[in-house]
């Protein structure tokens, strides 16, 4: 699997790339946004399976770059940054990132987070709806989940989700009508290594709701957590 690292600090970039290569990943390194954007937009088959992205880069802002990427690609993104404020973490997740790693970090931790995101992207998380395809309905809307093809259709149109969003939505659907709190969703859907604020889950839920046209597919059960409201068709 191919991983792009966009990081201007050469020591940090080379250390991370070295550990990832030891794990068997094909890694391409970039010190600026411009060459990374060119590689991402290339039609020469160089599209990565995951992007590790710094926020403060010499030729631009990583948050803005991620926003631009989401216009044409759903590649999983892990932010790698010294910006450790909760507001920065929430901003990154709202832009569609799958994880947010704060510097300084251990290279081993980064490898584990990469593996967790790629596992979710491949649809091999802890829970699944079924071996085939399930159609859910709610409020006159429809949601089709195909585990085998790792594909979702919302009102017969492709639904683009990040790996984290996919994992949360599929898990809640599979366990409907049970209610799960933030800590449980962090553990079951994002893995125990996905440390950080419980608001991480709130942000992913907000993004999912937005992509589902704001409909109450996922209900907030105050004081308890979240529940999926769809019914099998």
Q: What is the DSSP string of the chain?
A: -EEEEE-S-HHHHHHHHHHHHHTT-EEEEESSHHHHHHHHH-SSS---SEEEE-SEETTEEHHHHHHHHTTT----EEEEES---HHHHHHHHHTT-SEEEESS--HHHHHHHHHHHHHHHTT-SS--S-SSEEEEEETTEEEEEETTTTEEEETTEE----HHHHHHHHHHHHHTT--B-HHHHHHHHH-TT--S-THHHHHHHHHHHHHTTT-TTEEEETTTEEEE--EE-
pLDDT, residue 79, reads: 93
CA 220 centroid distance within chain: 21
pLDDT, residue 104, reads: 85
Count the Cβ atoms, other than its own, within 10 Å of residue 179.
17
Residues of the chain with pLDDT under 70: 43-46, 122-132, 191-198
CATH for 133-232, options being 1.10.10.10, 3.30.360.10, 1.10.1200.10, 3.40.50.720: 1.10.10.10
CATH for 2-121, options being 3.40.50.2300, 3.30.70.1230, 3.30.160.340, 3.50.50.60: 3.40.50.2300
CA distance 20 to 166: 24
Count the Cβ atoms, other than its own, within 10 Å of residue 164.
30
pLDDT, residue 124, reads: 46
CA distance 59 to 180: 42
pLDDT, residue 192, reads: 54
Segments making up each domain of the chain, as ranges: 2-121, 133-232
CA distance 134 to 114: 29
pLDDT, residue 106, reads: 85
pLDDT, residue 195, reads: 52
pLDDT, residue 18, reads: 93
Predicted model pTM: 0.69
pLDDT, residue 168, reads: 92
CA distance 99 to 46: 22
Residue 76 has φ and ψ, to the nearest 5°, of -60, 140
Look at residues 1, 162, 38 and name the one whose alpha carbon lies nearest to residue 96: 162
pLDDT, residue 126, reads: 47
């Amino acid at each position: 699997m191919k991983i792009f690292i966009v990081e201007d600090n050469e020591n940090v970039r080379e250390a991370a790339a070295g550990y990832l290569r030891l794990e068997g990943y094909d890694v391409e390194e970039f010190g600026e946004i411009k060459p990374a954007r060119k590689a991402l937009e290339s039609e020469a088959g160089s599209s990565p399976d995951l992007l590790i992205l710094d926020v403060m880069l010499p030729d631009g802002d990583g948050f803005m770059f991620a926003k631009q990427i989401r216009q044409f690609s759903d590649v999983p993104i892990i932010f790698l940054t010294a910006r450790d404020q909760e507001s920065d973490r929430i901003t990154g997740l709202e832009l569609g990132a799958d994880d947010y790693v704060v510097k300084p970090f251990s290279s081993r931790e980064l490898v584990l987070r990469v593996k967790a995101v790629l596992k979710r992207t491949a649809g091999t998380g802890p829970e699944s709806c079924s071996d085939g395809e399930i159609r859910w309905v709610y409020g006159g809307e429809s949601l089709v989940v195909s585990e085998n093809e790792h594909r979702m259709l919302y009102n017969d149109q492709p639904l683009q989700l990040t790996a984290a969003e996919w994992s949360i939505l599929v898990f809640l659907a599979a366990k409907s009508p049970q209610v799960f709190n933030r800590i449980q969703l962090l553990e079951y859907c994002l893995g125990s290594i996905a440390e950080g604020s419980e608001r991480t889950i709130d942000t992913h839920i907000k993004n999912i709701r937005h992509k589902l046209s704001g409909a109450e597919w996922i209900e907030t059960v105050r004081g308890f957590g979240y529940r999926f409201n769809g019914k099998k068709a």
